[in-house]
Amino acid sequence: MARVYKQSAIYNSRIASMRNLWEPSKEYMGKAVEKPNYLVTIVIKKTRANWFEEPALAAFTLSCQELYSAAMSHLPFQQIQWPIKDGDVPDPGRAQAEWRTGHWILNGSSTSPIEVFIVQGGTPIPLKNRAGVKPGDYVAVTTSIAVKVGDARGVKCYINKVMFMGEGEEIVIGSATSANELMEAAKAQGLNVTGFGGGGAPQQGFGFAPTPVPAVVQTATGPFMTPNPQAGFVSPSNGPQTGFAPSPIAPPAGNGFAAPGGFNAPTGFPPRS
């Protein structure tokens, strides 16, 4: 049986880790891997008790429902290991990190380079490196999910595209110090930091119009929600896919992303000099 892939797009998320967004990881747990991996972690603010009830994850939830019906319905729903994690539940043996609290966490990867864009003046342009962006900025991503190879109960998430939509509060992972913390420490030591010359105040993310909350239904395949067509999220296609890292859905326009209805497009980042 051919491997089944289901696609979707996620908006109103923030990128938490982009260390291997442009440069792939070539080892795992200290050992070299056969294929390099490009890795991305995004977080979605929690507004519901379950990830499959989140309005921001409506299209992703639909893709999960489709994958379950097509390839995993012979297993109890409760046994499926979905790629979404609850940030309020610490990883075993690790202290709870502040950036995780109050968020859903999604890790994705690709063995092929991930296409990265940045919105400037309402237009997405290719972004070849991390200049001008940081962990914590708002992003939209396209995803493909499939049953893990060698693990019939696990679901693998591939990230195909990342589009930086607007500035957000910096996320600091590990023992690193944020730029704001460095500034406060410098001022505490009596330093008069005037900085470089430049434009006006930075933009702080972007706004969304209220999104209708999809209804949650109990079905034989699990407690997925029924997406509200008025929510405006992009429905994934069901076209056949081949290869290890599937291609994203064919977009009508806009580099693989289509803004949902009720979505107030951000002004994006200031022009890069």
What's the CATH number where 38 sits?
Answer: 2.40.50.140
In a domain, 15, yes or no: yes
250 part of a folded domain: no
Mean pLDDT of 213-239: 46
Q: Return the pLDDT at 65.
A: 96
- Nearest residue to 221 via CA among 78, 47, 46, 14: 78
Tell me, what's the pLDDT at 90?
A: 86
**Contacts with 166 (C-beta within 8 Å, 6 or more apart), sequence order:** 119, 137, 138, 203, 204, 205, 206, 266, 267, 268, 269
**Can you tell me the mean pLDDT for 176-200?**
61
**Which candidate, 221, 209, 205, places its Cα nearest to that of 61?**
221
Stated as kind and residue range, the H or E segment containing 45 is strand 31-45
Q: Is residue 176 part of a domain?
A: yes
Q: Report the pLDDT value the prediction gives residue 41, as an integer from 0 to 100.
A: 97
Average pLDDT rounded to a whole number, residues 80-93: 91
In a domain, 259, yes or no: no
Q: Which of 85, 135, 136 is nearest to 106 (CA)?
A: 85
C-beta of residue 62 within 8 angstroms of C-beta of residue 8? yes
Beta strands in 93-220 (DSSP E): 103-110, 115-120, 123-126, 138-147, 155-166, 215-216
Asked if residue 273 has pLDDT above 50, the reply is: yes
Q: pLDDT value at position 203?
A: 43
**Residue range 104-119, pLDDT digits in tens:** 999 999 999 999 999 9
Please return the burial class of 99, using the count of CB atoms within 10 Å of its CB with bins 0-12, 13-18 and 19+.
buried
Which comes out higher in pLDDT, residue 272 or 172?
Answer: 172
Whether residue 264 lies inside any domain: the answer is no
87-94 contacts, C-beta under 8 A, 24 or more apart: 87/43, 87/46, 88/46
By percentage, how much of the chain surpasses pLDDT 70? 63
Structural domain including 215 reads: 6-194+203-231
Instruction: Give the distance from CA 224 to its chain's centroid.
Output: 20
The whole-angstrom separation of Cα 25 and Cα 38 is 6
- Residue 84 inside a domain? The answer is yes
Residue 116 belongs to some domain of the structure: yes
Q: Are 9 and 92 in contact (CB under 8 A)?
A: no
Would 240 be classed as within a structural domain? Answer: no
pLDDT of 124 higher than 80: yes
> Is the pLDDT confidence value at 70 over 60?
yes
Instruction: State how many domains the chain has.
Output: 1
**pLDDT of 13 strictly over 90:** yes
Q: Quick one: tokens of 231?
A: 């929510």
